[in-house]
Structure 1
Amino acid sequence: MPFSSSKYWLGAFAAPMLSGAASAQPAAFDFDSLKGRPNLNQTVLGTSGKWSLEKLLALTQAEGMALWKTLPAVALAEMNGHYLGLGPDAKDEVYQKNYAAYMFSETSPRGYWLGKAFRPLTATTGEGYNRWRFAGGRIDRNLRMATRMGTSLIDGKPAFIMDYSAFNKTTLTDEVRKLDDFIYLGAATTDAGGGKRSKPAFFILVGPTDEWVGPKTKP
């Protein structure tokens, strides 16, 4: 099935390789020169035009969770395909570095987190997995979950639920709500004992970027 340019938007950012560029070494760059620059509207996502990639990455964890609590649940049938995953906290550099070391590193035990994938199985249930890249280009599709519409463990309102305990020995649960077409905000918690949940970890999903493939673990 051909991909719609509006739906599978990531391919538009694939730059052509110039002749001889593969052997060239990048020049040293002063990253401090980028600090404090306003650049919030360059990569517009969704259909409303209100949200860009830069704006999403400028959110803090607290801002993301406050926004998440105002949103409606995304319909189960809408979550179908692969989704890019992001984990911003714009004002906490320590959090950013630790998150990157754990979730965005090919040398970490998990690998580099590419995002999640979903497909509906019935009108009320579905399944999904996470995608990870490792050194050498290997992609693992694992950390599976069962999906359903349900009541949030965080605020008691409707949410799209990812239940990891269906396939793994874990109490991890993700809950997703819709910010805009193709932009979804998520909150991850675990059992903290005494009927309580851990502090939510805010994340973002953008997509679908391509179609469902199916889970596959490393050899």
Structure 2
Amino acid sequence: MQKNFTEEDLLQLSVAELLDLFRTLNSPSIEEMDGEYAAYLLAQPNWLADKIGHITLDNPFRRWLSKAFRPVDTTTGRGYNTFLKEHRVVQCYPMMTMIAPSRFDNQPAYQLVYRQFHSICGSINMVDEIRRVSPNLYLGIGTYGFTHHQRHIPYPFLLKGPHTPYRGDIGRKRDVFQISSRDIPKLF
């Protein structure tokens, strides 16, 4: 019988333990992921990734608040991240979403593909994978990089919610975009 993991449990797990747990979880559906979900970094693969993650996502100038999603149709969705900048909530880093095989175990995962849109996340080939831990609690594994090896280093985070409705689509799509093995390696 699988343990019912809480947010507090996830905060105590190592990257290896989080990846092991991720492999036991199911993907949420496109329809399920609708609204803004509070986002938090979990254990990172090394001390440098931990420091860079916290400096990038939780600093005095802007603090990472959430990831948000909406279904577009039965197979795809849209999304963005929110940050608190001064006293305003700002949306950035748009993404397309879909269900596709995970790069970590070839099982279905809710995938966030940033490269469809112009942003720094798209430029570094960021793809996040999400699975449901329990109702309103999700484990995400972020990846990015320019080589096969870099794109297989797991950067775990958690999502809670939804707590707020989706605010609206943002971003400018790349003129020529086609999903490739760089984004979802198990599709090809």
Q: Which amino acid aligns with 2:68?
A: A
Q: For each residue in 1:147-168, what CA deviation from the matched residue of structure 2 results, as whole angstroms up to 9, or x when unmatched?
A: 1111122322111111100113
- Normalising by structure 1, we get a TM-score of 0.67
Taking a change above 3 Å as real, the CA distance of residues 94 and 58 of structure 1, as seen in their structure-2 partners, is farther
What is the CA distance between 1:214 and its match in structure 2?
1.6
Distance 1:193 1:94 in 2: 19
Distance 1:214 1:62 in 2: 35
2:105 counterpart (118, 135, 155):
155
Task: Name stretches of at least 5 consecutive residues in structure 2 with no aligned partner.
Answer: 172-188
Kindly tell me the number of residue pairs found equivalent between the two proteins.
166
- Per the alignment, in what secondary structure is the counterpart of residue 193 of structure 1? coil
CA contact (8 A) 2:28 2:110 kept: yes
Query: Could you say which residue in structure 2 is the equivalent of 1:123?
Result: 74
Distance 1:91 1:156 in 2: 21
Query: Could you say which residue in structure 2 is the equivalent of 1:112?
Result: 63
Taking a change above 3 Å as real, the CA distance of residues 152 and 102 of structure 1, as seen in their structure-2 partners, is same
Q: Which protein is bigger by CA-based radius of gyration?
A: 1
1:138 counterpart (84, 88, 93):
88
Distance 1:159 1:65 in 2: 13
Structure with bigger RCO (C-alpha 8 Å, 6+ apart):
2
Instruction: Give me the CA root mean square deviation.
Output: 2.6
Query: Could you say which residue in structure 2 is the equivalent of 1:205?
Result: 159
- Normalising by structure 2, we get a TM-score of 0.78
Distance 1:90 1:189 in 2: 11
Taking a change above 3 Å as real, the CA distance of residues 195 and 104 of structure 1, as seen in their structure-2 partners, is closer
Query: Could you say which residue in structure 2 is the equivalent of 1:85?
Result: 39
Query: Could you say which residue in structure 1 is the equivalent of 2:140?
Result: 186
Taking a change above 3 Å as real, the CA distance of residues 191 and 156 of structure 1, as seen in their structure-2 partners, is farther
Q: Which amino acid aligns with 2:143?
A: T
Q: Which amino acid aligns with 2:168?
A: G
Distance 2:24 2:90 in 1: 34
Distance 1:150 1:127 in 2: 15
Identity percentage over the alignment? 30
2:18 counterpart (64, 68, 72):
64
CA contact (8 A) 2:102 2:129 kept: yes
CA contact (8 A) 2:140 2:156 kept: yes
Distance 1:99 1:56 in 2: 17
What is the CA distance between 1:182 and its match in structure 2?
0.7
Distance 2:159 2:44 in 1: 17
Q: For each residue in 1:96-144, what CA deviation from the matched residue of structure 2 results, as whole angstroms up to 9, or x when unmatched?
A: 444322211132xxx2100100000101111000000112x12111100
